[in-house]
Amino acid sequence: MPLADYKQYVAMDRLPSIWCPGCGNGTALKALALALAELEIPPDKTLLANGIGCSGRVGDYVRCHRFHGTHGRTLAFVTGIKLVRPEIKAVCFLGDGDCAAIGMSHFVHSARRNVDIATIVVNNFNYGMTGGQFSPLSPHNAITSTSSSGKPEPDIDICKLADVAGANYVSRTTIYHVTEMKNYIKEALGKKGFSFVEIISPCPTYYARYNKLGNIIQQLEWLKDKFIPIEKYNQMEDAEKENFFWRGRLTDRNLPDLLSAYTLGSRG
Amino acid sequence: MKKANVAINKDLCKKCTICVHFCPRKVFRIDQDGYPIISHPEKCTGCRLCFLHCPDFALEVEEELDD
């Protein structure tokens, strides 16, 4: 039964993890392990690459190949790994600061090149490991340790950016929607080309405390109430949209990925 | 109806109590140390929602056939 097989990807002897009680990184790792087990991708053909930050610790708890890149540069390293070892199933497990601030340019160009990488971004709306500073993905007016009266800058929709940059698969879900999260990761892993899943995660230690979102149960309820299906979101009035976020599949297409475009070449 | 056994590993549990609150059948309760314990094992249907929600790999659900 696939459910039992997920443990072959997880280093159970290195647990408990470093993450705070209720942190979504562990839930996302479990969803990834379950998706890998259901697709029967062997651990010796799987590469889990991660950057720096809370989500960067995920590599300590896996049994497949792992790569710990420098801050934000993980996608650039994995592009190189994919060119040399195209048979490897590459998964990049990044945080919101790692992907959208420090590694923004690598992210946009990996999507533009359509490299065959499944990218999972665990977005907890702040830099959790360094004390809760705001990231480019923190919502407008969010209270963090570097914006005590509300974040003055607008945020960026990283999913829409991945879409216009040329990614083959883009979706967004939350830690509350566990089955949907596993299914989206499974779809991303099965897609040839750049696939991207943004997972909104609670940060019980910093973001939730500063923004008075309550305990971990109330934070998960907040995710459940605020993140509505994209079809419903698109029908809303603009004023109403400001109170909600969307989740769902944004992009699903089959453009040729970097390696197949490279092999075929423009010469025909 | 299917029956299931829930096993909690206290060495991995961080007492976040997500399993206690999101169980649709209220199988769990919180003990005096703050850990989840199973108070109504007969109510469990084996939906695995607690297993999927647990961030710390501390829960396992094993199904068994009812006689």
Domains defined along chain B, listed by start = 3-62 (3.30.70.20)
- What value of ipTM does the predicted structure carry? 0.91
Q: How close does chain A come to B16, measured CA to CA in Å?
A: 5
**Per-residue tokens: A219:** 């934070």
Q: Could you tell me the CATH number of the domain that includes residue A253? A: 3.40.50.970
Phi and psi angles of residue B21, each rounded to the nearest 5 degrees, phi first:
-80, -30
- Determine the distance from the C-alpha atom of residue A6 to the mean position of all C-alpha atoms in its chain, rounded to a whole number: 19
* Interface contact B57-A26, CB threshold 8 A: yes
Which are the contacts of A267, defined by CB distance < 8 A and separation ≥ 6?
Answer: none
Q: Does the structure show a pLDDT above 90 at A120?
A: yes
Mutation target vs B (from A25, A27, A218; most B CBs, 10 A cutoff): A27
* Interface contact B16-A21, CB threshold 8 A: yes
Quote the number of domains for chain A.
Answer: 1
Per residue in A2-53, pLDDT (tens digit) is: 565 889 999 999 989 999 999 999 999 999 999 999 999 999 999 999 999 9
Residue A268 has a pLDDT of: 46
Element housing A120 (H / E): strand A117-123
How many Cα atoms are found within 13 Å in the side-chain-facing hemisphere of A26? 27
Rounded to whole angstroms, how far apart are CA atoms A266 and A174? 40
Residue B5 has a pLDDT of: 85
Residue A5 has a pLDDT of: 85
Rounded to whole angstroms, how far apart are CA atoms A223 and A202? 8
Which are the contacts of A212, defined by CB distance < 8 A and separation ≥ 6?
Answer: none
pLDDT (average), residues B43-55:
90
Rounded to whole angstroms, how far apart are CA atoms A232 and B60? 35
Residue with tokens 């209220």: B26
Range(s) of the domain holding residue A154: 2-264
Rounded to whole angstroms, how far apart are CA atoms B29 and B8? 12
